[in-house]
Amino acid sequence: MEKKRVILTGDRPTGKLHIGHYAGSLKNRVKLMEEGNYDEFYVFIADCQALTDNVGKPQKIEDSVVDVALDYLAIGLDPARVTLFIQSQVPQMAEMALYLANFVTVATLERNPTLKEEIKARGMDASLPVGFFTYPVSQAADIACFDTTLVPAGEDQSPMVEQCREIVRRVNAIYGSPEHPILVEPEILVPKQEFCRRLPGTDGRAKMSKSLNNCIYLSDSSKEVHDKVFSMFTDPTHLRKDDPGHTENNPVFIYLAAFCTDEDFARYLPQYRNLDEMKAHYERGGLGDVTCKKFLFQVLEGILAPIRERRAYWENHLDEVFTILNEGCKRAERKAAGVMDRLKSALKVDYLTNEAYKAAQRARYERKD
Ligand code: TRP
């Protein structure tokens, strides 16, 4: 039997999505959707995962669920081709996490590099919630619950997908056989270009983060994007236009590398054919930051203006958004329920629907007199 191609990915609803998400993952999703080379495609809002480090902040998650749903629709994910849903509304995902937790050791979780980094960044020591510590298990369940074969995500997610693969292999080794695997081992798909993998903040810090106020959001107005781009950190040694400049670690050039195309040059900055020529001029001296920022603003607007327009439509049709999510949750639940049934019967926790089990128990208690 030909294996189904199932794509699944998601985001924690802890704020609106920004251009770092777009470069690192969202753009890729739209491309995968347009290529159409899959049988099922799920994109979900990981609210349960968001709650693992946001107890006591329900309002933030509650609002972000809608913000992220709007962002999904705004980037062009088409609900007819992609199932959009909310994690907490598909109880099989939580159920599967409970069973999968028995296939992972604490020591393995402690070695997960992404988890380690997050625990450190949040300064969780004695305050580390059990739910946060075990979220890689729950994420493995998110993936395994749909027989996912491909997870398009940022590179930081690769330890999570690796963790899922390990769990799936253990489940299959113990409860299945090579001919009859129980769960499906997924692969990760990270964006190809190195510079897309993590976009720095507009202030030049390593990461875009809401708390640092250094993000450009997909939902920002044209004026907000303009103001953010024109106040971006660049090369502090490039004081005058004629000074030689540095393009590495210069967020303006990192953003350009992630977003601009040769067509953008032809259209807005025809004195260069491509980014290499522009960079060479900046490095030589003679190219001012304002010219670079103006170009970057035009490039970003080329991407963000259509997103903004679609977002405005959905903001005005929120009831349609709720209907889309509701239908997505139902479709996701149907799929997850089938996979969950398969796992439960492999784990022998299908007592009441398993006739052979019931017959065997009857035989044990059959009167011998
Ligand atoms: N960990 C992802 C993030 O932080 C969200 C997520 C939860 C996810 N479950 C997933 C991503 C399953 C891909 C597959 O954004």
Dist. CA 145 → ligand 1 center (Å): 13
**193 assigned to some structural domain:** yes
Report yes or no on 207 lying in a domain: no
Q: Give yes or no for a contact between 234 and 289, defined as CB atoms under 8 angstroms apart.
A: yes
Residue type, position 61, single letter = I
Residues 324 and 295 in one domain: no
**CA distance readout (Å), 291 to 19, 231, 297, 369:** 21, 13, 10, 97
- CA separation (Å) from 44 to 7, 48, 72, 160? 11, 11, 10, 16
pLDDT of residue 56: 86
**What's the pLDDT band for 24 if we cut at 50, 70, 90?**
confident
Which position has the higher pLDDT, 122 or 331?
Answer: 331
Query: What percent of the chain lies above the pLDDT cut of 90?
Result: 88
Note whether 225 and 270 are same-domain residues.
yes
- Crossing angle between the packed helical segments 135-144 and 113-121, to the nearest 10 degrees: 130
- Mean per-residue pLDDT for 214-239? 96
Tell me the pTM.
0.94
The tens digit of pLDDT for each residue in 189-209 reads: 988 776 666 789 999 988 888
| Contact partners, residue 304, CB within 8 Å, separation at least 6 | 19, 218, 220, 222, 225
26 and 61 inside one domain: yes
Q: Which residues lie below 8 Å from residue 339, measured CB to CB, with a gap of 6+?
A: 92, 96, 144, 145, 146, 147, 183
Q: Are 96 and 343 in contact (CB under 8 A)?
A: yes
Question: Which of residues 294, 314, 334 is at a domain's end?
Answer: 314
pLDDT in tens, 151-183: 999 888 999 999 999 999 999 999 999 999 999
Q: pLDDT at residue 137 above 70?
A: yes
Number of domains, the chain:
2
Q: Does any ligand 1 atom lie closer than 6 A to the CB of residue 214?
A: no
CATH code: domain of residue 189:
3.40.50.620
Decide: 53 in ligand 1 pocket, CB within 6 A: no
For a mutational test of ligand 1's pocket, the pick from 72, 83, 135, 142, i.e. the residue with the most ligand atoms closer than 8 A to its C-beta, is: 142
205 is a domain residue: no
Residue nearest to atom 14 of ligand 1 (CA): 9
Domain boundary residue, one of 297, 314, 331: 314
How many other CB atoms sit within 10 Å of the CB of residue 358?
12
The answer to whether residues 174 and 274 belong to one domain is no
Do 183 and 244 reside in the same domain of the chain?
no
**The pLDDT value given to residue 97:** 98
Q: Are residues 305 and 338 in the same domain?
A: no
Same domain, 32 and 136: yes
Q: What is the pLDDT of residue 196?
A: 64
Residue span of the structural domain in which 167 resides: 6-198+318-360
CA–centroid distance, 270 to ligand 1, in Å, is: 40
Verify that 266 and 228 share a domain, yes or no: yes
Is residue 81 domain-shared with residue 38, that is, in the same domain?
A: yes
**Which residues fall within 8 angstroms of residue 346, CB to CB, at 6 or more apart?**
171, 175, 176, 182
* Closest Cα to atom 9 of ligand 1: 139
Please report whether residue 332 resides in a domain: yes
Q: Are residues 99 and 138 in the same domain?
A: yes
Q: Is 210 a member of any domain?
A: no
Query: Do 21 and 160 fall into the same domain?
Result: yes
Classify residue 209: in a domain, yes or no.
no
Mention every residue, 6+ apart, whose C-beta is less than 8 A from residue 321: 66, 69, 70, 73, 314
Domain shared by 281 and 340, yes or no: no
